[in-house]
Amino acid sequence: MSFRGQVVIVTGSREWTDREAIYQRLKQYRAGTILLHGDNGNESWAVGADRIAASVGRDLGFQVVGHPYFTDAGKAGGPLRNKLLVALGAAYQGALYSVVVEAFPLPGSRGTWDCVRKADEANLPVITGGLERPWGPSPDEIGYVAMEIRKP
């Protein structure tokens, strides 16, 4: 199958600070990749997986599109935003784009795991950096193979 392009959805902790870990995972994708991220909604913050991924993605020549937390929805704003990101990923996949979710959770990253769960339910491949999902199964048990979406 020939894909029209690559879409990477990034979800992660607002407290994430390891830029190098994000760079190492994102550098495997081609320039021009569409990077969708949750954006913590505060331009002054220099940390957070989504914010760091957006910066790294721009440096790598990606098309970066942020989807901030829906503040008008109160506590439902994060889950609604995650639902949107996953729906966009499924729509791109349906239009013959290769789609993968790159997750950068920390202990207690409820919003990140919510997005991972929604992506699992939508049958989107999810890479968690080897961390097991709190509810199981592990990425290996799901059987996703991400190699075909990487650079040759």
Structure tokens at 109: 């990253």
Asked whether residue 1 carries a pLDDT value surpassing 90, the answer given is no
Q: Which pairing describes strands 34-37 and 63-66: parallel, antiparallel, or unpaired? A: parallel
**pLDDT for res 39:** 79
Distance CA 140, CA 144 (A): 7
**pLDDT for res 68:** 86
Query: Among 4-8, 42-46, 144-148, which stretch is predicted with the lowest mean pLDDT?
Result: 144-148
**pLDDT for res 94:** 94
Asked whether residue 47 carries a pLDDT value surpassing 50, the answer given is yes
H runs (alpha helix) in the chain? 19-26, 49-59, 77-94, 110-121, 139-142
| Residue range 54-100, pLDDT digits in tens | 999 999 999 999 998 888 999 899 999 999 999 999 999 999 999 99
CATH number given to 6-149? 3.40.50
Helix, strand, coil: what percent of the chain each, to 5? 40, 15, 45
Residue with token string 């331009």: 43
**pLDDT for res 43:** 55
Residue 32: exposure state from Cβ atoms within 10 A (0-12, 13-18, ≥19): exposed
Residue 103: exposure state from Cβ atoms within 10 A (0-12, 13-18, ≥19): buried
**pLDDT for res 32:** 97
| Residue spans per domain, the chain | 6-149
| Residue range 24-33, pLDDT digits in tens | 999 999 999 9
Distance CA 142, CA 138 (A): 7
Asked whether residue 10 carries a pLDDT value surpassing 70, the answer given is yes
Average pLDDT over the chain, rounded to an integer? 85
Instruction: For residue 8, give the nearest of 81, 55, 49, 57 by alpha carbon.
Output: 57
pTM: predicted TM-score of the whole model, two decimal places = 0.85
**pLDDT for res 21:** 95
Which residues contact residue 121 at a Cβ distance below 8 angstroms, ignoring those fewer than 6 apart? 86
Structure tokens at 60: 């790598």
| pLDDT tier at 139, thresholds 50, 70, 90 | very low
